[in-house]
Structure 1
Amino acid sequence: MHITSLAIPDVLLITPKIFSDERGFFMESFNQRDFAAATGLDVTFVQDNHSRSKQGVLRGLHYQVKQPQGKLIRVTQGEVFDVAVDMREKSSTLGMWVSAVLSEKNNHQLWVPPGFAHGFYVLSEYASVQYKCTQYYRPSDESCVRWNDESLDISWPMNDREKVVVSKKDAGATGFHRAPRISIY
């Protein structure tokens, strides 16, 4: 696999090895030993999630405060614009964000470490997003930052005429400056 650090070095773009021929392709979507060797990270995943969303859906920006989740994200159908926002209170990159386009065509994966809010916007007609988590989901621990918070100034790839579809929870999310920070140092 090939690892690329993004503008926030803790967030990694992972390109797995793909073996293609006339039949199609094969890839290991995850191998604990190879992941640890390539990234230097010793993580244990405890939960796998899968969401399917239609074009124009924006999910996020979600995170857990007391038991932050690291996430290894990939798209198995369609294409999304995926975003990670640093919520770590003592981080030099607090409030900064990075993004990557993940798709079934590029097979890229995004490692979003604990301490980051995560969200994505669906670019294709439909998208299936699958991700592994390092902590169990706890609804009482979840927080959500408003996706269009002006202080974050995320460059979502949509035009003003596009209707963004969000859940009621995401529509009522907190602004970045009032959102709880994560203390993981």
Structure 2
Amino acid sequence: MKNIFVIQIRAMRKKVLLILLCSVLLFACSKDSSNNQQTYGNTLNTWTFKEGNTVYNGSLLLGGASLNTQLQSNNSYTFSMLGPEKTSGFLFNLTLSLVDLNFSQKQYKSGVDGNDYLNAFYYMESPASADNIYKSSNLDPGPVMNYTITAYDANKDIVTIEFSGQAQRANGSLVSITNGKVTAQVER
């Protein structure tokens, strides 16, 4: 009886080692798309932008972007998204005051004075941070960021937005934000 038990343990150990080896090989040979910077901003619920030589990438939280379908006091619909950067965990936040629920207006700006739209771009350490790493906001006019809705699939409710322009650092200096792009599932 003891010999049968030992033989079964050896056979089981071989199977476990074989499964472990196959798993390691499959994992090692698989393509890691998280390191492929070309997919950020193009893949659903991801974002990217560049400042100088630094590229920032991440994914969106809460299943994508949130669109409040209740008309706001400024006669717009608040559209916002939030997501951590893949290496630092710092937060990307984009908010637009849309004129309708169908993304028919394609151009928006943040950092402009003279309206009460909530258009804004923030990149921050955390929501509780007193200072943003980068910002462009109508609530604090100055550096202007341009947003273009480049694609909207009404059947799937997926939107792609490209953005670029100026942002302000916490110390007040301005930086150029380029190659900004986000593709998001719209949650209504």
TM bucket by the smaller chain? under 0.3
TM-score of the two chains, using structure 2 as the length reference: 0.27
Higher helix share: 2
TM-score of the two chains, using structure 1 as the length reference: 0.27
